[in-house]
Structure 1
Amino acid sequence: MRINHWTNGFEVVHNGKQVLCHTYDNPMLFIGTGQEDIEMYRGNFKIEDYVTERMALRTFTLKEDEGSILIDFAGMIEMRLEISEEEMKLKFKCLDDALNRFWIRLSSDEEEHLYGLGEQMSHFSLRGKDYPIWTSEPGVGRNKNTYITWRSDVENKAGGDYYNSNYPEPTYVSSRHYFVHVHSTAYSKFNFKQKTFHEIEVWEVPEEISIVSADGYLPLLEKLTAEFGRQPELPDWVYNGLIIGAQGGTERSFSILEQALEKGIKVSGLWCQDWVGKKVTSFGKRLRWNWVWDEEMYPDLPKKMKEYKEKGIRFLGYINPYILEGTALYQEGFENGYFAKTFEDQEYLVDFGEFYCGVVDFTNPDAFNWFKDIIKKNLINFGLDGWMADFGEYLPTDLKLYNGKSAMIEHNHWPVLWAKCNYDAVVESGKLGEIVYFMRAGGNGTQKYCPLLWAGDQSVDFSIDDGLASVICGTLSSAMVGNGINHSDIGGYTSLFDNFRTKELFLRWAEMGAFTPVMRTHEGNRPETNFQFYNDEDTMVQLARLTTIYTSLKDYLKEAVKENHEKGTPVQRPLFLHYDEDNNLQKLQTQYLLGRDLLVAPVYLEGAETRDVYLPEDEWIHLWSGKEYAQGVYTIEVPMGQPAVFYRKNSFYKGLFEKIGTL
């Protein structure tokens, strides 16, 4: 990277292409003031902004200062520019405390593609749209043209849109082989609609913006993950089979497990989210958010856990960072001042859908340690080998926090604090590498604290924005910002308005799950009205085969997970990471590479008997037929249980893949 300076402007160039440019007529910086209006309803946010002033900073003075370049923009913003061969840091100092809106433009051209911004579920290639960075519920349906989204909006303000995400992050990766990261947790928006520039809006003057480059995608991701931290490796036991999601108490849950084992389904764990008890609402079965074992609902659970652990099957539970009003834990937290408060110093309760909870104030070190000890005592010491660490997106903006910071600033930081609370509890218990917890919410720095991402609450259907296909897109986008281990609820979760899971959907999702790092089922929010694998003989037979395929990949998956931990190369990865010169891959979002040698194209459309697949330049072998293919587009037959999967002919694992192809 280098800077060129002339009388009325300057530019920063990387590999012969402009990254930043400022002139009087085309300024790169704008500042101003604004007043936001935030309305939250059960984790769904309506955000409006009234910009009272926006000014272009046209004039500047530039001077060398202690090895960096100091640029004063109109006496209102100072930008210190630190440039090395492969990195540029833009450090800002606001000279007017009244300013709370900031815009910066980065140069672009029409050929540039962009990826990342956390976990984006609708669009992998981000060009042509704008993306707010604000963690929230992802929305139901997530497409304003659908009936489900419309009705969810009307009845619950919960329909969402293409940009809603549990895990947004102000980091994107360019096809020019650099990444941009905004060092801020404030609300921001990335506008990629223009042909010649990208505009980033931040609701504060950010501390810093980093632009880091490399000579390819793989070394770039290595740098990116070195900055944010890398995910730890998964426990060995995870690869031994399916994690079965069941609920309803000891007898029902363990009988489902036994039923699966009898049918030859390989099982690594039993996940009972309602181990803490249940609440029934109009949405469906919910949990009693009091983070202790419910002895009445799960009698003899410690005995059962020990019995099945000796058989190699682990027990997993559930927790989130909110506590139900009226419980003993809530009373303890309230008496010790561990919850966030109103500005009148009263208790602040959040509506989670027909029940109310206190918000554990993680900015209070005593509250953080208290909840960390709850995880240690009530989960780890109790004997759980894993759990869903749910939520993290619900921090309201009208409460008071212990550290004195605005909740507008802490909102996007909250999932990271929640992840760190879980991570610290596991590390301090000496269980890192033995226990796995999985999260849906995230932000800057979640990566090193979250061993396993999960895609959140998809609809139980084939919809592109919120069904099976959205999982693939979310996995690829999150992989580009350092979350290389991801998975999803097999069959989806959200069932509303006569939208019910079918056998076809479950099996298509399960066959995709066999070619991911982790296989886990979920009964969904309305178990009784959705298809469940254990109620169908044929499905259990097919699922047994798929778990055999998954467990056969153990050594291959472990190697890929290790590579993710050591270098930041994601387990499920975009094809262009290894075929960078192929322009046909830039927008491909329904195929992925599993490790280096397997190309997976899941069946994501209802009723599909064939699947169009693009193969990059290499020698490819169709997993099921053994037929060899070269580069090109092919229409592949995809009978149930045989998604379009190919392996590289010269793979070290060729013998393993040949064996799997006969299963």
Structure 2
Amino acid sequence: MKFTDGFWLMREGVHASYATEVRDLQIGADHITAHAAVKHVRQRGDTLNTPLLTTEFFSPADGVIGVRVTHHAGKRRLGPDFALPGAGAGAGRTRREGDLVELRSGPLTLRLDTGKAWTLDFLDDRGRRLTAAERKGTAFVTAPDGAHHTAVQLALGVGEQIYGLGERFTPFVKNGQSVDIWQADGGTSSEQAYKNIPFYLSSRGYGVFVNHPGKVSFEVGSESVGQVQFSVEDQSLEYYVVAGRTPKDVLARYTALTGRPALPPAWSFGLWLTTSFCTAYDETTVTSFVDGMAERDIPLSVFHFDCFWMREYQWSDFQWDPETFPDPEGMLARLKSRGLRISMWINPYIAQKSALFAEGAARGYLVRRPNGDIWQWDLWQAGMALVDFTNPAARAWFQDKLRPLLAQGVDCFKTDFGERVPTDVVWHDGSDPERMHNYYAQLYNRTVFELLEAERGSGEAVLFARSATAGGQQYPVHWGGDCFASFEAMAESLRGGLSLSLSGFGFWSHDIGGFEGTPDPGVFKRWLAFGLLSSHSRLHGNVSYRVPWEFGEEAVEVARRFTLLKHRLMPYLYGAAVEAHTTGVPVMRPMLLEFPDDPACRTLDRQYMLGPDLLVAPVFTADGEVEYYLPPGAWTHVLTGETAAGPAWRRERHGFDSLPLFVRAGAVLPLGADDQRPDADWLDELTLRVHPVPGGAPSRRSVTVPDLAGGVAAVFHVAQDGDGVRVRAEGTDRAYRVEVVGGGSARGMGDVAVPLP
């Protein structure tokens, strides 16, 4: 929200009060409280008829410093609040030397000079200023309608760039943008977002998390061009500055605080095929799709039933449409006998025609208006209501309605929607409706995820979720929502995914071919390559099917080629998944995560790193022309074996069966032998493809091949010197193969040596 009229004036009727000087200070061993006057106090009379801002400084975790700014402290706290599983007490240490007061936490220091005008400096472990709340950096603002806002401004350095704030489809670098953290079902072509995360990452080695689940308004160099401003309509605002030498370090600390992603099961990384949304389908249709994939040698891992598995006007009642699916148990058994997993579409909205409406209403499980009426509207479903997930009994009731589906053989759920949450309602637990609007997605996804963990086991739980807020990364996987079937929408989807990955989310997917409309065959084929080189891969549409043969024989060949490739890459990809689970570093990584010191990587939003070593540049043009950047070093194309050197911008043309897909020098790529499924025995005939460092320079690399539970199946220690490449296997006595790119190969057990070319 903008409060000023240019640099000098406030907007009409707006009044701002800024922390100006410290009038009182309390210093504990690990926390500081400063009471700041909003004007300079020159005499006793200046202390009358004027507010104080209470500002508390504390550290909930190493390298994280929290600041809580409060005007009037008497407002009732209704909740909800973000759960912060990584927060503790006593992580910081205070120090005072004359007027100078500091709070230190790991590599981060907050410094306040009480002898000067109010400034909060945040310093790294080298004493370099990361950011600061300066003269207008801590304030409360009153608007003409009487609304009270608490606002903070943190300084931007020259050339500093800001990322994140959720899955945003606007430009990747957020400088110059106004961003409201407010859930909306706005597709992928607008400033609205399904996944709004009040966390941003800076190119200067820090991040900022605003600990407020309601509407947070960000002005990222858009009101005051040298500041990031964030504000809430509240008497208090709490934010955390998160430090790190690298962007990966910042994400690791942020996700340690708000929750790390669960590890999805390996089978979920295979290809998902859906019925699509509004198309006609029954068991005959579904079987024809599955048969068609098998006949064309395209391995399929998951089949998904979208909305119309239920009867019209009754979403959600979680009952199969008996006319369309008269034998659901038998159908699912037949599908599962072919090695498929089953996904079902669900929704937290209950249509009035559904039998669950009357049941939920009678039990008090549906959200109500202040006068006691059940909140309803006709948008999406006729007379739909909303399950009140703040009620523990309602959560258990919702889970109980899903259990019969699990008993029938369903493996996972697509938790669609969760954004259309009203604010003119009363929640069971008394939550503030404005704060609950965004937070509802967390309760919804957690309810379903915890059911899957309980019924299937923690290693088997996976969602396909659309909405999320901070902490939602704990319940993967998330997908990009309703995009158009066009090259432009394909590119905007990638922007959204990269922004989400810099907001703490480790796993992300999108609708291959686009959701709205029917893609041109060229769009579909290009999207296939992109989709199958993403964390998770799903063929899904709205009014038309997404089976590859609908788009020509070449589309079938492209689907087969990249599905088989993804399966062979699974030992590598699942290693990246384990890393996301344990450190918070995402599987699909913006270039700046792997190359933070390369200025050319800081704005790249049409390419990414898949895990630590694979560079992917999807093709967004009909003629196959693509422009991309190779960072410094030697690179080898995965599909052709072509070598190239960076730093360099490259422009080239690719057929539909190709795209820029490079491995960087020094990488050791573990490849599985079984290209038919994502959850194979990866140590069976494993290949280690070694990409030597040019010039024979000595190098060392250890590669962990995970097991299907995310543990360690084997570790391979790879050493390169002037004589060749030597590999030492640890934890396995299985035979494996070593291929040195540009050189020879050898097969053996234990220690294997291959001479350099």
Q: Could you say whether these structures have the same fold, taking a TM-score greater than 0.5 normalized by the shorter chain as the test?
A: yes
Name the structure 2 match of 1:455: 480
For 1:50 and 1:526, the matched residues in 2 are separated by 49
The 5 Å alignment of 1:112-511 reads 112-139=160-187, 142=189, 161=190, 163-193=191-221, 194-246=224-276, 248-274=281-307, 276-279=309-312, 288-353=315-380, 355-375=382-402, 377-448=403-474, 450-463=475-488, 467-495=489-517, 500-511=518-529
State the AA in 1 paired with 2:390.
T
Give the aligned CA root-mean-square deviation in angstroms: 2.6
CA drift of 1:354 comes to 5.9
State the AA in 2 paired with 1:101.
H
Name the structure 2 match of 1:566: 582
For 1:199 and 1:71, the matched residues in 2 are separated by 21
The C-alpha deviation readout for 1:596-624, integer Å capped at 9, x for no partner, is: 1110000123x132211101112101223
For 2:12 and 2:389, the matched residues in 1 are separated by 31
State the AA in 2 paired with 1:294.
D
* Counterpart contact for 1:117–1:172, Cα < 8 Å: yes
* Counterpart contact for 2:368–2:426, Cα < 8 Å: yes
The C-alpha deviation readout for 1:286-315, integer Å capped at 9, x for no partner, is: x84322222321122222322332321112
* Counterpart contact for 2:505–2:586, Cα < 8 Å: yes
* Counterpart contact for 2:512–2:531, Cα < 8 Å: yes
CA drift of 1:430 comes to 4.0
For 1:353 and 1:322, the matched residues in 2 are separated by 9
1:55 aligns with 2:17: yes
Q: 1:643/1:413 Cα in 2 relative to 1: closer, same or farther (>3 Å)?
A: same
SS of equivalent to 1:616: strand
For 1:549 and 1:532, the matched residues in 2 are separated by 17
State the AA in 2 paired with 1:521.
L
State the AA in 2 paired with 1:86.
G
* Counterpart contact for 2:623–2:653, Cα < 8 Å: no
SS of equivalent to 1:586: helix
Name the structure 1 match of 2:747: none
* Counterpart contact for 2:625–2:652, Cα < 8 Å: yes
Name the structure 2 match of 1:525: 542
For 2:491 and 2:688, the matched residues in 1 are separated by 28
* Counterpart contact for 2:310–2:318, Cα < 8 Å: no
* Counterpart contact for 1:92–1:208, Cα < 8 Å: yes
* Counterpart contact for 2:412–2:452, Cα < 8 Å: no
1:601 aligns with 2:617: yes
Q: 1:531/1:423 Cα in 2 relative to 1: closer, same or farther (>3 Å)?
A: closer
Q: 1:621/1:340 Cα in 2 relative to 1: closer, same or farther (>3 Å)?
A: same
Q: 1:100/1:532 Cα in 2 relative to 1: closer, same or farther (>3 Å)?
A: farther
1:101 aligns with 2:126: no
Name stretches of at least 5 consecutive residues in structure 1 with no aligned partner.
1-25, 33-48, 143-160, 281-286
The one of 626, 629, 633 aligned to 1:618: 633
CA drift of 1:405 comes to 2.5
The C-alpha deviation readout for 1:52-94, integer Å capped at 9, x for no partner, is: 6443343542413223332223334211123698332102333
Q: 1:564/1:245 Cα in 2 relative to 1: closer, same or farther (>3 Å)?
A: farther
SS of equivalent to 1:510: helix
1:72 aligns with 2:35: yes
For 1:245 and 1:511, the matched residues in 2 are separated by 21
For 2:225 and 2:158, the matched residues in 1 are separated by 5
SS of equivalent to 1:103: strand
* Counterpart contact for 1:109–1:195, Cα < 8 Å: no
For 2:462 and 2:308, the matched residues in 1 are separated by 17
State the AA in 2 paired with 1:326.
K
CA drift of 1:352 comes to 2.5
Q: Please give the TM-score of this superposition, normalised by the length of structure 2.
A: 0.72
CA drift of 1:577 comes to 1.5
CA drift of 1:536 comes to 3.4
* Counterpart contact for 2:636–2:644, Cα < 8 Å: yes
Q: Please give the TM-score of this superposition, normalised by the length of structure 1.
A: 0.82
Which structure would you say has the larger RCO, counting Cα contacts within 8 Å and 6 or more residues apart?
Answer: 1
* More divergent stretch after superposition (409-418 vs 546-555): 546-555
State the AA in 1 paired with 2:373.
Q
CA drift of 1:233 comes to 1.5
State the AA in 1 paired with 2:606.
T
* Counterpart contact for 1:117–1:477, Cα < 8 Å: yes
Name the structure 1 match of 2:63: 86
Name the structure 2 match of 1:575: 591
CA drift of 1:275 comes to 5.6
For 1:359 and 1:323, the matched residues in 2 are separated by 6
For 1:256 and 1:267, the matched residues in 2 are separated by 10
CA drift of 1:625 comes to 2.6
Bigger Cα Rg: 2
* Counterpart contact for 1:293–1:378, Cα < 8 Å: no
CA drift of 1:106 comes to 0.8
| Aligned residue pair count | 578
State the AA in 2 paired with 1:620.
W
* Counterpart contact for 1:647–1:657, Cα < 8 Å: no
* Counterpart contact for 1:248–1:274, Cα < 8 Å: no
For 2:236 and 2:449, the matched residues in 1 are separated by 28
Name the structure 2 match of 1:4: none
Name stretches of at least 5 consecutive residues in structure 2 with no aligned partner.
1-6, 38-50, 76-145, 671-686, 691-738, 742-757
For 2:236 and 2:487, the matched residues in 1 are separated by 40
CA drift of 1:647 comes to 0.9
Identity %: 26
Q: 1:531/1:311 Cα in 2 relative to 1: closer, same or farther (>3 Å)?
A: closer
For 1:241 and 1:188, the matched residues in 2 are separated by 37
Q: 1:214/1:419 Cα in 2 relative to 1: closer, same or farther (>3 Å)?
A: same
The C-alpha deviation readout for 1:210-234, integer Å capped at 9, x for no partner, is: 1110221222211111111111112
CA drift of 1:278 comes to 4.9
SS of equivalent to 1:381: helix
* Counterpart contact for 2:452–2:460, Cα < 8 Å: no
Q: 1:250/1:213 Cα in 2 relative to 1: closer, same or farther (>3 Å)?
A: same
SS of equivalent to 2:603: coil
